[in-house]
Each structure stands twice: as C-alpha cells, then as structure tokens.
Amino acid sequence: MPATRLTLLLFAFAASVHAELTLDVPAIELKPKPEDEEVETTFKFRNKGDKTVKILGLESACSCLSATLDKAEYAPGEVGTGHASFKVSTFVGRHEKFVTVNTDNPKQPDWQINFILDVPAVVDIMPKNLQWWIGDDTKAKACLVKFTGDEPMKILKITPTRQNVEFDWKEIKEGREYLITVKPKSTADITMGALKIETNSSIAKYRYQLAFFSITNKPEPQPAAATAATKP
C-alpha cells in the first residue's frame, strides 16, 4: 500500500475516534480517608465537537458509583459539570471504575468517564497466605501484621476457621506490628482456612481482618521436554 494512502487512512481513523465530550485528564481520581464511607467529587468536561450533544442516559459499571451531569445538552465548545459519588464500603487499595454516558452523537454514542478510587490501607499482612504442601514437615510459619494508619491498633483476639492448626501472636512494636505464628497439626490432608483477626480499630471495616493458611498438593514438575519447548 502506498505510504500516502496509508497516511490518509490513519488520519481518517484518528478523526473517526476523536472524542466529542472529553475530560482534561485520563481519569478522575478519588482519594478518600480510611474512615470515609462515601466520597464525592465534581468534575469538568467539554464538548470539543462542532455539534450540540444531547445526553440520553448514564450507566454505571458498579452499584458503588453514581454520577450526574448538570444539563441534558451541550453546545459546541461548552463546558459541563458532573458530580460523582462513590460508596467506599469495604474497598481498600486502588480500584478503577467507570460510568458510560449515552449520547445522540453517532460519532460518540457512548462516552466513558473513568474513575480511580485509591483508599489507603491501614492494615498490611505479609504474607497474606501461609502455605504447606501435603507431606511437609509440620514446622511453624509466620506472618507480620502492620498497622500503618494514623492511629495505633491492637489485636484483641484470633479465631481459626479450621482446627488443624496451632497459632500464637506477639506484639513487636506497640500498636503497630504483630507477629502471628501458625503451625499445622498435620499436613496429611488438604486444608484451606483462615485466621479471623479481631482488632480494636475505631473504623468498622478494619475491626476484622483475615490471614489465610493452606495445605495443598505440590505441583507436578514439568517434563524436561515440555520445559525445553517453552524456551525461546
């Protein structure tokens, strides 16, 4: 294909995907505090097209996120205002969600508004899962629980969901770090369970945490021929 024709095709494709309604940023970032149950934000967008765009509806990809726009129609060059509300609930860490705006514009019938929710974690468990293989020695393994929020926390109680383990915990740094030690009574059977960790956190979603343990079959090693075949 001649270079000139290819260039024209690429230009046509770029024009066809040119956004009409658009934000000034790739995504709207929400950074609630650990204790927030809900976070709200207001954002601006613009109609960069040459025709008025009519809003037909809004659909959220998650029941936790809702959004509204200030008008039903936006003239060329007009700046609009949107409002979004996110129910934080038990979310922790970084989560990407979006709302789809349905319009009457054939060039952009669906406009996606992206949101990033970044909820700071105040509890860090490393590792999150303690694992043994079937037939392993019943030696103890440990996980470290760190409380990284503004307020210190204490572990009040730990309850296992399976009785095939013995466990203990000790405070390493007051209100900040705990070491939990877990030892299976036997590794003869497949077992999957968790330790329910009760804390004195004033934030409801941090009062109970989970650390997991498992006893599973060890993966079979790959045959030498198969391993060699996967090499580049």
Decide: residue 226, CB within 10 A, 0-12 exposed, 13-18 middle, 19+ buried. Answer: exposed
What per-residue confidence (pLDDT) applies to 153? 95
Same domain for 190 and 108, yes or no, is: no
pLDDT at 198: 97
Q: Which amino acid is at 124?
A: D
Amino acid letter for position 90: T
What is the pLDDT at residue 228?
54
Query: Facing residues of 65 across strands?
Result: 86
- Tell me the whole-structure pTM to 2 decimals: 0.66
**Contact of 10 with 79, CB cutoff 8 Å:** no
- CATH code, domain with 96: 2.60.40.10
Write down which residue in 79, 104, 119 finishes a domain. Answer: 119
pLDDT on residue 109? 95
Residues of the chain with pLDDT below 50 are 1-17
| Residue 97: both structure tokens together | 């969600």
Containing 206, the helix (H) or strand (E) segment is: none
Q: pLDDT (tens digit, 9 = 90+) per residue, 10-58?
A: 333 344 445 589 999 999 999 998 888 899 999 999 999 999 999 999 9
Residue 196 identity: K
Q: Determine, yes or no, domain membership for 36.
A: yes
**Dist. CA 99–CA 63, nearest whole Å:** 10
What's residue 63's pLDDT? 92
Q: What is the pLDDT of residues 120-135, one digit of tens each?
A: 889 999 999 999 999 9
Q: Where are the beta strands (DSSP E) in 109-207?
A: 110-119, 123-126, 129-133, 141-147, 155-160, 165-173, 177-184, 191-199
pLDDT of residue 160: 96
Strands (E), the chain: 21-22, 28-30, 38-47, 53-60, 65-69, 73-74, 79-87, 93-103, 110-119, 123-126, 129-133, 141-147, 155-160, 165-173, 177-184, 191-199, 208-216
In a domain, residue 93? The reply is yes
Range of the domain at 162: 123-216
Residues 25, 114 within the same domain: yes
Instruction: Give me the pLDDT at residue 87, please.
Output: 92
